[in-house]
Homo-oligomer: A and B are copies of this chain.
């Protein structure tokens, strides 16, 4: 049974996870399947791009972030998914074999008006590279079951 319900996500609460390494071959295989642009596939082409060298697809960073939040707390929560994503900013290139660390901060919470068994938790998710630089932020709300309702 999941341990974390909507009531547990109080504003200011922080979850951390990682580091997680992004192997070069996995980063390139992802780009080949989902985002086959030269700056994500080819070192020489990437050197000529704004990224200044081979860098992960931003979507790969999103997917790694999702997996890290599942491992950090979502997998142990009464998660009901999410209605979308409010904002993503890719701040710095993510390089092959870099190691990323996640920080998830609860910004605010609110009960659902239409469903008494759930509530929304708005998060800021941040990814940092091995040098401690912030490489990405993602802001959105997750839906979580409420404890009282789940127990009733």
Chain A interface residues (CB < 8 Å from chain B)? 33-37, 39, 49-51, 57-59, 62-64, 66-67, 70, 74-75, 79-90, 143
Contact = CB atoms under 8 A, between A and B. Distances in A.
A35 B86 contact: no
Contacts of A88: 84-85
A123 B38 CA distance: 21
Given A84-B89, A85-B85, A86-B87, A59 B49 contact: no
Identical subunits present: 2
Contacts of A59: 59, 62-63, 66
B87 A87 contact: yes
B84 A87 contact: yes
B75 A63 contact: no
